[in-house]
Amino acid sequence: MTLQQIIDAALLRLNKDEAGNPFSPESMTGVFRNASLDVYGSMVKQVMSISAQNNMPPEQIISRYFNELTRFMFRIDGSVIGGDVTIPSTSDRILSVFSRGLEADIDLVDPNTFDKRRTDILSPDPEGNPFATEIGGTLRVIPNNMSGGVLITSLKVPEEPYYDYCLDSGLNAVYMPVGSKLVDSGGQLNLVDSSDVLIRSNVTHLTGSDGYVSNSIELDWDESAHPMFVDYLLSDGAVNLREEFPYGDANKQS
């Protein structure tokens, strides 16, 4: 679904309920950005919570209950230099770390536990049970002289959507799909798609003129997740939903 299709689906339900506030086009980019981040943040929070409660790796929770997040997972080959591994800025949440040299999973702990454990002789031998903590953009590992590097599995934040639009002669907002552009035709601007098929004639854009290409960015989510955003928009439009958010309770999906 494009951003406009999601809006239309939400409007359809708004009209059905005859309630809620209309969406202004200038607010849509912010609304979609918030929606994307909220849905992502909510899912990640639940993944980490279920993982901690059940002592299961977060990746396992994602593949079992939050498949929508798999597209945001990526792997990093990191080098250990002086016990530190630089984490790419694209990484939002580290899910797991594996030591290639020790051929063992690295236990991710909070900084307090890390400091306590690194001096604790009662803890399992770090040679067989390596551990690490994230401090700033760095992953600090023990043993700090491990060779072979580490493999980090991480989540990145979804790309931010952008709703670009123009106005037709009746001052109605017209969504500019990805790849669409404005072309001058006999002194008036027309909106055409990437194949130059006319979408709407005689439009105006806040900043764009002839040759302007849409800056729209679609949601960085699988289609299967899009219904969540329809519900999100409804909620944002002050509509009381009769059904719960599908992402509201992961345990119900099991």
Return residues touching another protein (CB under 8 A): 83, 116-123, 125-127, 142-146
Residues in the chain, overall count: 254
Shortest separation between residue 98's beta carbon and another protein, angstroms? 18
Round to whole Å and give the CA distance between 196 and 182: 10
Shortest separation between residue 233's beta carbon and another protein, angstroms? 46
Q: Which is nearer to another protein, 31 or 146 (CB)?
A: 146
What letter represents residue 28's amino acid? M
What is the per-residue DSSP string for 36-56? HHHHHHHHHHHHHHHHHHHT-
Q: Which is nearer to another protein, 143 or 149 (CB)?
A: 143
Shortest separation between residue 145's beta carbon and another protein, angstroms? 5
Q: Which is nearer to another protein, 75 or 116 (CB)?
A: 116
Q: Which is nearer to another protein, 130 or 237 (CB)?
A: 130
Shortest separation between residue 146's beta carbon and another protein, angstroms? 8
Are the C-beta atoms of residues 103 and 129 closer than 8 Å to each other? Answer: no
Shortest separation between residue 83's beta carbon and another protein, angstroms? 5
Q: Which is nearer to another protein, 104 or 213 (CB)?
A: 104
Are the C-beta atoms of residues 47 and 61 closer than 8 Å to each other? Answer: yes
Shortest separation between residue 122's beta carbon and another protein, angstroms? 4
Q: Which is nearer to another protein, 120 or 222 (CB)?
A: 120
Give the Cβ contact number of residue 133 at 10 Å: 20
Name the phi and psi angles at 188, rounded to 5.
-120, 155
Q: Which is nearer to another protein, 22 or 82 (CB)?
A: 82
Strand, coil or helix: 219: coil
What residues contact residue 187 under an 8 Å CB cut-off, 6+ apart? none
E runs forming strands in 61-187: 73-78, 84-86, 91-99, 104-108, 131-135, 138-142, 150-156, 165-167, 173-175, 181-185
Shortest separation between residue 152's beta carbon and another protein, angstroms? 19
Round to whole Å and give the CA distance between 151 and 137: 16
